[in-house]
Structure 1
Amino acid sequence: MRTVAGPGVDERGQIYMRNELMLSFGQWTDKGRKEINQDFHGGYVPKGAQLTVKGAAFAMADGVSSSSVSQIASETAVKSFLEDYFCTSDAWTVQHSAQRVLRATNSWLYAEGQRSVYRYDKEKGYVCTFSAVIFKSDVAHILHVGDTRVYRLRDGALEQLTHDHRLWVSQSQSCLSRALGFREHIEIDYQPLRLRLGDIFIMATDGVYEYCDAHTLIEALQEPDDLDAIAKRMVDHALEQGGKDNLTLQIIRVEALPGDVDSLFQQQVETIPLPPILQAGAEFDGYQILRCLQTSRRSHVYLALDIVSKTKVIIKTPATDQQGDPAYLERLLMEEWIARRINSLHVAKAAQFERPRAYLYTVSEYIEGRTLSQWLRDHPRPDLETVRGIVEQAARGLMAFHRMDMLHQDLKPDNLMIDASGIVKIIDFGSTRVGGVAENDQGVRQPNLLGAALYAAPEYFLGEVGSPGSDLYSLGVLTYHMLSGGFPYGADVAKTRTAGAQKRLTYKPVLSEERDIPAWIDATLKRAVHPNPHKRYTELSEFLHDLRHPNPAYLNQTRPPILERNPVMFWQGVSLVLMAVLIWQVMS
């Protein structure tokens, strides 16, 4: 039942991962005293860059004894996990990828059970327990459902890392409370653990751990034998002790940990030459430069014509001042990597054709239109319905980022394009955080805060990692700005560097005597831009709904007093009244 693949495995069962991370593994399985082996286990090690992005995975499943088809379930669970996990997006986190795959497997197993004669007796259907450990960078990601177990041996102490999902009806009787294929929806335990040199992870089915005590296992792992031999010896020992079930054991040992892991683009940055300053009319790497669109201290942006396809594209090259900054160059290349992984009408796309390049630069689609900043200069007082239309399109673009475990982190008028047909597109991914890459501490390096301060969520100023709620905050500020021309907290957010200071931020209502904006719209914006991310909307769709449909909770709120809406007008009125009183007293 041993399933191992990938050129990273040598003849001694050692897996060599990039940048010195090395794992040794051993495994053994036996049907024991039963007629068939309903356990299944395996491991997979990809090659190339995928090894860094996705890691190495080991999985184990144990079919339920009461079922005559559970061996199909356990084999399907392990094989589909090891195949499908590595087919998920490179942008997704380990947790996102693994849980998506396991939920799909659970749905298939449950559906097979519902179509079989075991529909009303789930314990006889396509059911199995499941555990997996994914080693990525210097972290072990553990996923678990059922009663297979994952242990860690560290500094001579054996620790059980998983919790048995069993329901005890008496001291001697129990049944599974959770397993793949058991119910239509599955809850999967997840735990990330930082690795240490010499850590040993043990994965075992109940046929082993119920008859092999911790002391025996710890002693065996101190011996110089290879891990396959140790696994076999422990399985044999469990059998000798009276094991009656199938027996499977996997052992994975951390032989070496990585130092600084190469980013996805480090090799390109170190080997590909940087482009020169380009002039209109010049031919460059299969493109004809039409004109320079923008020059800054960070980059040069050109409109170009693809000579082969005759399509217009945008070429972005690093500015001279940035050519000695590897971190910036990596982020520049990351922008196109991101664009190729998001498919949305409201997100700028990478160039249609990808080909070898002689220089370091990026290519993206040409959007004939103008930025929202430029549009606002021509339409300084857009009506509410127009603002809704722009915000809804921008939100759809953000949703596409979030589905890919990405945060844009720099939503502002300059980073929204409105094309000739009125379609809004998000551009500039230089600040985007990619969950699957960020899991590697040594991934593409980014400063703590990259976005525009007026639109950045308050949590960024505390040094916290962003969330989809952070992009929601930026969208809320953008909406507020289009309706009022100002900002909900002025420029005060960037000055607050403690949670206490952020609690003292005062929201300025968007309502004014000059614009007819409903009070419930102001309440919607106030929630969207709340300094505490836990008090904002949990989903972008909720914000969009409340922006278009009055929330009953807000309809009962009265319009704020004029002192709050326009304090200058209030005090001018008070002064006028006082002056009238004084004049009346003098005249009388």
Structure 2
Amino acid sequence: MASRLTVSIGQCSRKGHKGVNQDFYGACRPQGSELETKGIAVALADGIGSSDVSQVASQAAVTGFFEDYYATPEAWSVSNAAQRVIAATNSWLHAQTRRSQYRYDMDRGYVCTLSALVLKGTSAHLFHVGDSRIYRLQGSTLEQLTEDHRIRVSPEESHLARAMGGDERVEIDYQRVRIEPGDVFVLTTDGVHEFLRPAAMARMIAGGGGDLDGVARQIVDQAYDEGSDDNLTVQVVRIDSVPEQAQPAEAVQNLIGLPFPPVLDPPVIFEGYRLQRQLHASARSHVYLAVEERTGERVALKTLATEMRDDPGQVERFLMEEWIAQRINHAHVAGARAPQQERHYLYTVMEFIEGRTLAQWMTDNPQPTLEAVRDIVEQVARGLQAFHRLEMVHRDLRPANVMIDQEGTAKLIDFGSTRVPGVLEMVPVVVDEGPLGTAAYSAPEYFLEGEGTMRSDIYSLGVITYQMLTGQLPYGTEVAKARSRSAMHRLRYQSVRLYNPELPVWLDGVLRKALHPDPYRRYEALSEFTFNLRHPGREAYSQAPLPLVERDPVRFWQGMSLVLASAVVALLVLLFV
């Protein structure tokens, strides 16, 4: 095994008996950091014979997939990035047909199939629309991994049930499979697999040695000889090596090997920075106010606490904070500052925010107005939205991790617990440990499944909003104790008006929804929550209690069992009396 993913690829495509080759195919093997963050992509598309322009659609589907997929944010998961790109290409193809002379006959328009394979870390991600296929060879068996989206009317007649460009929206089949060295993936169009059995292809691959281009040509030639009357395209992808162990992003890898800095006692000159004073110290890190000597800019220089230096997971989380900050440029998120010279020690440099934490602001403002709370919550929500657009979950939103500067601007800080799907797919270096944040602000699902979503961040923002208005936590310390679903449903929301009777009645409805123990009963988006804080909907005025099945499922089903048992007894009495 190797430290990087390596593959060998063989490809062949011919027009066969047709006048034009309507198939299109390609592969992209990036170098450097893109190999880890985006992976290796292989794709083919097959135009339909009834269309004179489907070869244009095939080329657009494949080239568009490569160009757009590698342009998506590094933080996105493969699934999210690829499906968004395919959906956008589908919409474009459909629009081209609607603007052409084929708008009343879609089968003659810009329509094709698409099968794509993305290899990243130790996984293969498969995306599929239509009746081209993806197989996997393990041992001597060639297994079909995709499903043909074709409806057969009779042995002689069939048509595609799903295709790129066939409709305004497209349903994309997706699956993820683990890969190992020696695995072989085969992508084919129907001009090949309709005339050649999988066992025959498997034998050719086994006997082809290392010449995968030769194997692809042999498969195409054999399908042609077997009577194929269609275009023929084959791609053969062999996994040569996969990462031996989990690898972080390359930018992080380059820093992990650096030595830890010596004890820093301001004022001191360190790596081109003039450290003036310590801003913060915790069990995880130490933060210093520093001035960059070349530019005079004030920055926050951060080092890892001595107690954490022997933990590889803590080291990577520490460095990932800077990696994340470099990819988010937002007014309500603390930014990273690139060092002006080569680093010789392990540390990070972030934007210095002159002000106070939201925790201190709450101490200084024990009875804020609803408008003041709205203003801060809306700013924090905009910062969180910047994370969510990149598919990141902050996971440690709390008053101590929000700074309020001297102009009243709120900014998110401390991204050491942030979940980044695109990085985790490289093979998770840091085990996703569930609630890495503060228990009082962590959503209940962290203590059940151990994994949160963007709705978990909405919950945390709801807790902060409630605390700003009342000085209390909505469920006290009970959330961390709720280790079962029945315990979670027993959590009781306390009205904000118990602590501040001057607050509007409807506010409870808004907060109750944001703080619902069940994530699927919360707001779907931060924008809904902040909008309702100013414009409450009708449901905000509803004070109807939760049904028993939600408040206490165990009691509900015990009651149902008692009712059913009574009914059975009554029936038995009627039968035998």
Q: TM-score, normalised by structure 2?
A: 0.89
Give the Å deviation of 1:557: 2.6
Contact 1:197 1:257 (8 Å CA) reproduced: yes
Once residues 320 and 96 of structure 1 are traced to their aligned partners in structure 2, the CA distance between those partners, rounded to angstroms, is 38
Name 1:292's counterpart in structure 2: 278
Instruction: Give the 3-state SS of the residue equivalent to 2:127 in structure 1.
Output: strand
Contact 1:327 1:446 (8 Å CA) reproduced: no
Name 1:496's counterpart in structure 2: 482
Name 1:75's counterpart in structure 2: 59
Instruction: Give the 3-state SS of the residue equivalent to 1:87 in structure 2.
Output: coil
Pick one of 137, 154, 164 that aligns with 1:153.
137
Contact 1:77 1:105 (8 Å CA) reproduced: yes
Give the Å deviation of 1:52: 1.6
Contact 1:144 1:189 (8 Å CA) reproduced: yes
1:131 aligns with 2:115: yes
Name 1:189's counterpart in structure 2: 173
Contact 1:21 1:137 (8 Å CA) reproduced: yes
Instruction: Give the 3-state SS of the residue equivalent to 2:70 in structure 1.
Output: helix
Contact 2:247 2:427 (8 Å CA) reproduced: no
Deviates more, 1:354-363 or 1:365-374: 354-363
Name 1:366's counterpart in structure 2: 352
1:140 aligns with 2:140: no
Instruction: Give the 3-state SS of the residue equivalent to 1:238 in structure 2.
Output: helix
Once residues 426 and 513 of structure 1 are traced to their aligned partners in structure 2, the CA distance between those partners, rounded to angstroms, is 28
Distance 1:233 1:268, change over 3 A: closer
Give the Å deviation of 1:155: 4.6
Deviations 1:525-583 (A, max 9, x none): 122112221221222222222222222123243799xxxxxxxxxxxxxxxxxxxxxxx
Pick one of 328, 352, 372 that aligns with 1:342.
328
Contact 2:41 2:118 (8 Å CA) reproduced: yes
1:109 aligns with 2:93: yes
Trace 1:274-293 onto structure 2 (pairs within 5 A).
274-293=260-279
Give the AA of the match of 1:193: V
Contact 1:287 1:305 (8 Å CA) reproduced: yes
Once residues 317 and 199 of structure 1 are traced to their aligned partners in structure 2, the CA distance between those partners, rounded to angstroms, is 43
Structural RMSD (CA): 2.2
Distance 1:266 1:312, change over 3 A: closer
Trace 1:35-114 onto structure 2 (pairs within 5 A).
35-114=19-98
Trace 1:29-428 onto structure 2 (pairs within 5 A).
29-225=13-209, 226-264=211-249, 267-351=253-337, 355-428=341-414
Name 2:525's counterpart in structure 1: 539
Contact 1:352 1:365 (8 Å CA) reproduced: no
Contact 2:276 2:289 (8 Å CA) reproduced: yes
Name 2:429's counterpart in structure 1: 443
Instruction: Give the 3-state SS of the residue equivalent to 1:304 in structure 2.
Output: strand
Instruction: Give the 3-state SS of the residue equivalent to 1:314 in structure 2.
Output: strand
Instruction: Give the 3-state SS of the residue equivalent to 2:359 in structure 1.
Output: helix
Once residues 448 and 65 of structure 1 are traced to their aligned partners in structure 2, the CA distance between those partners, rounded to angstroms, is 51
Give the Å deviation of 1:76: 2.3
Trace 1:475-494 onto structure 2 (pairs within 5 A).
475-494=461-480
Percentage of matched positions with identical amino acids: 50
Contact 1:59 1:78 (8 Å CA) reproduced: yes
Give the AA of the match of 2:81: S
Distance 1:170 1:365, change over 3 A: same
Instruction: Give the 3-state SS of the residue equivalent to 1:131 in structure 2.
Output: strand
Once residues 352 and 232 of structure 1 are traced to their aligned partners in structure 2, the CA distance between those partners, rounded to angstroms, is 50
Give the AA of the match of 2:229: K
Once residues 431 and 301 of structure 2 are traced to their aligned partners in structure 1, the CA distance between those partners, rounded to angstroms, is 23
Instruction: Give the 3-state SS of the residue equivalent to 1:454 in structure 2.
Output: helix
Give the Å deviation of 1:251: 1.6
Contact 1:519 1:557 (8 Å CA) reproduced: no
Give the Å deviation of 1:335: 0.7
Contact 1:269 1:330 (8 Å CA) reproduced: no
Deviates more, 1:456-465 or 1:348-357: 348-357
Once residues 539 and 325 of structure 1 are traced to their aligned partners in structure 2, the CA distance between those partners, rounded to angstroms, is 35
Once residues 406 and 559 of structure 1 are traced to their aligned partners in structure 2, the CA distance between those partners, rounded to angstroms, is 34
Contact 2:272 2:341 (8 Å CA) reproduced: no
Once residues 105 and 514 of structure 1 are traced to their aligned partners in structure 2, the CA distance between those partners, rounded to angstroms, is 53
Once residues 443 and 52 of structure 1 are traced to their aligned partners in structure 2, the CA distance between those partners, rounded to angstroms, is 13
Once residues 502 and 386 of structure 1 are traced to their aligned partners in structure 2, the CA distance between those partners, rounded to angstroms, is 31
Distance 1:511 1:53, change over 3 A: same
Give the AA of the match of 2:90: N
Instruction: Give the 3-state SS of the residue equivalent to 1:33 in structure 2.
Output: coil
Deviations 1:319-353 (A, max 9, x none): 22223222222111111110111122111111266
Give the Å deviation of 1:104: 2.9
Give the AA of the match of 1:242: G
Once residues 156 and 482 of structure 2 are traced to their aligned partners in structure 1, the CA distance between those partners, rounded to angstroms, is 59
Deviates more, 1:241-250 or 1:194-203: 194-203
Distance 1:355 1:58, change over 3 A: farther
Contact 1:519 1:559 (8 Å CA) reproduced: no
Unaligned segments of structure 2, at least 5 residues:
547-577
Contact 1:54 1:90 (8 Å CA) reproduced: yes
1:550 aligns with 2:532: no
Once residues 244 and 224 of structure 1 are traced to their aligned partners in structure 2, the CA distance between those partners, rounded to angstroms, is 25
Give the AA of the match of 1:249: V
Deviates more, 1:195-204 or 1:463-472: 195-204
Contact 2:446 2:452 (8 Å CA) reproduced: yes
Once residues 202 and 440 of structure 1 are traced to their aligned partners in structure 2, the CA distance between those partners, rounded to angstroms, is 23
Name 2:450's counterpart in structure 1: 464
Instruction: Give the 3-state SS of the residue equivalent to 1:433 in structure 2.
Output: coil
Deviates more, 1:146-155 or 1:390-399: 146-155
Once residues 341 and 50 of structure 2 are traced to their aligned partners in structure 1, the CA distance between those partners, rounded to angstroms, is 56
Distance 1:395 1:18, change over 3 A: farther
Unaligned segments of structure 1, at least 5 residues:
1-16, 561-588
Give the Å deviation of 1:153: 2.7
Deviations 1:243-284 (A, max 9, x none): 111000112233444331222266435531222232333222
Give the AA of the match of 1:122: M
Deviates more, 1:269-278 or 1:460-469: 269-278
Contact 2:140 2:203 (8 Å CA) reproduced: no
- Higher relative CO (Cα under 8 Å, sequence separation at least 6) belongs to 2
Once residues 112 and 559 of structure 1 are traced to their aligned partners in structure 2, the CA distance between those partners, rounded to angstroms, is 52
Deviations 1:482-538 (A, max 9, x none): 112111211011122222322222222222164322332112212211222122122
